[in-house]
Amino acid sequence: MSRVLIVEDDQNVRMAVQLGLQHQGHEVRAVGTGEEGLEQLRPFRPEVVILDLMLPRISGLDVCRRIRDSDQVPIIMVTARGDDIDVVVGLEAGADDYVVKPVRARVLDARIRAVLRRQDASVPEGTRPRAETHGELVLDRAGLVVTHRGEPVALAPSELRLLLTLSASPGQVFSRQQLLEVVWEHSYHGDIRLVDACVKRLRNKLGEGRKPRYVQTVRGFGYRFGTS
């Protein structure tokens, strides 16, 4: 059972999602505004936040950004339109995944369990020694700790899983669809925006410039972890 915080202003949706997730075995706390959601982070200590983008006063995007300023708790955002530009903006603001309304409890439960597995993420089979050094980047796979230039790097679960997946096979090119399947566990033909937004956030946190050293783009194919 996991602790799930729902931030959703529509009372009917909020209650339906809450009851559905409780039926799936989760401990759920549901609130109707972004302010209430931010207030619940410390006392409730959720393991996953379900965050609606369209909130009154403080928008879901602003709530997402505020959470990411101090916490790497997994965030699954809820949007009314899967093709909306807000999806991209939300992912770049720090969300780990998204679902489109109407929200089905079983789908949301599967996403919650997947994002929690990413948080505990050891990497795919064939892991390397506990600590690896790649230039100024040090990866502790057992401890799930990343440091860059001697400073710890706070990564959201999807960002950490992506980095560990790519770095486990330096030089190997992964397509976006392969990364969706490994990192997000989306076995269907998923939304590659998840991958691109996560790469952008990861590069920013690693201080990557215009010619990334670690997470490199292979045009027309996908991404690889640089060996140079």
Domains observed in the chain? 3-119 (3.40.50.2300), 131-225 (1.10.10.10)
Tokens standing for residue 140: 């502790």
* Per-residue pLDDT reduced to its tens digit, 66-119: 999 989 999 999 988 766 777 888 899 999 999 988 888 888 999 999 888 876
Q: Is the distance from CB of 82 to CB of 61 less than 8 angstroms?
A: no
Paired sense of beta strands 137-140 and 151-152, if any: unpaired
Query: Alpha helix (H) ranges present in the chain?
Result: 11-23, 34-44, 60-70, 85-93, 105-119, 157-167, 176-179, 193-205
Q: Can you tell me the distance from the alpha carbon of 207 to that of 191, in angstroms, rounded to the nearest whole number? A: 26
Query: In a 10 Å sphere around its CB, with 0-12 CB exposed, 13-18 middle and 19+ buried, how is residue 113 labelled?
Result: middle
Tokens standing for residue 223: 């991404």
Asked if residue 125 has pLDDT above 50, the reply is no
pLDDT confidence of 127, banded at 50, 70, 90? very low
pLDDT confidence of 35, banded at 50, 70, 90? very high
Say whether 84 sits in a helix, a strand or coil: coil
Which of 69-83, 114-128, 180-194 is most confident? Answer: 69-83
- For residue 120, what pLDDT is reported? 66
Give me the phi and psi of 91, to 5 degrees please.
-65, -40
Say whether 174 sits in a helix, a strand or coil: strand
Entry pTM: 0.84
State the average pLDDT for the chain.
89
- For residue 197, what pLDDT is reported? 94
Sign of CA pseudo-dihedral 212, 174, 186, 101:
positive
Q: Is the distance from CB of 193 to CB of 208 less than 8 angstroms?
A: no
Which string of b and e fits 121-152 if b means at least 16 CB within 10 Å? bebeeeeeeeebebeebbbebeebebebeeee
Asked if residue 121 has pLDDT above 70, the reply is no
